[in-house]
Amino acid sequence: MAKSKTSKKWMEEHVNDPYVKKAQQDGYRSRASYKLIEINQKDQLFKAGQTVMDLGSAPGGWSQIVAPVVGEQGTVIASDILPMDSILGVNFVQGDFTDEAVYEQILSKLDGKKADTVISDMAPNLSGVNTADQYSSMYLVELALDMARNVLKPNGNFCAKVFQGVGYDEYLKDVKSSFSKVVIRKPDASRPRSREVYIVAKGYKA
């Protein structure tokens, strides 16, 4: 079956992408690692000894960045529907966290503690139908925000990938209602033509 022009263009872009090459050289599982590195440099979302939850973690590009920073005294709890190869210092739970059993498993990893930071790089499986994809992605970030509200300690942080489009403004307003400081980041590693941005929220009003 012939590849569509879009997937062929994506493949060419991917192969020639400097961040893809850099990730291979640096031993990161995903070019997305550089997005989180830049965001954390600007916003100090997590530091040594903290508890961080990574939603939509596979293949592990973000957990790879968080684990060495929080160190042995810290905790990283990662979750995804897809499998993820293990990472030193990361507790991984595979499954859909809207499923109660999976959700309870994630909470048990917190061991009665609250999280300092919740990060989410979740994205739906894209269908190519823009409206449907936008609704799917907004649904995922709403779930991530619900999780953050349930597990964050007072003054905790939240960072989530959001696609600009239908529902974006309302979502931003919703995040602002729960956090004292909210900024939008578009990291250098985020492709310019992509509608993705990262909402960075600090100071959870528990």
Angle (deg, nearest 10), helices 18-26 and 5-16: 50
Angle (deg, nearest 10), helices 61-70 and 32-43: 40
Complete domains list, the chain, with CATH: 5-204 (3.40.50.150)
- pTM (two decimals): 0.90
Candidates 5, 42, 113, 161; catalytic one: 161
Residue 101 has pLDDT above 60, yes or no: yes
Report the pLDDT value the prediction gives residue 193, as an integer from 0 to 100. Answer: 83
pLDDT tens digits, one per residue of 44-69? 999 999 999 999 999 999 999 999 99
DSSP secondary structure string, 39-68? HHHHH----TT-EEEEET-TT-HHHHHHHH
Which range scores top for mean pLDDT: 96-105, 121-130, 131-140, 186-195?
96-105
Both tokens of residue 67? Answer: 């684990």
Integer-rounded Cα Rg, in Å, for the chain is: 17
How far is 17 from 89, CA to CA, in rounded Å? 29
Q: Which residue has the higher pLDDT, 18 or 101?
A: 101
Give mean pLDDT, residues 115-128: 89
161 is catalytic: yes
Residue 11: CA atoms inside 13 Å, Cβ hemisphere, count? 6
Q: Which residue has the higher pLDDT, 125 or 117?
A: 117
DSSP type of residue 98: T
Contact yes or no for 160/172 (Cβ under 8 A) = no
Containing H/E element for 33?
Answer: helix 32-43
Residue 85: CA atoms inside 13 Å, Cβ hemisphere, count? 6
Report the pLDDT value the prediction gives residue 22, as an integer from 0 to 100. Answer: 76
How far is 202 from 12, CA to CA, in rounded Å? 37
pLDDT tens digits, one per residue of 135-152? 889 999 999 999 999 999
Q: Which residue has the higher pLDDT, 2 or 64?
A: 64
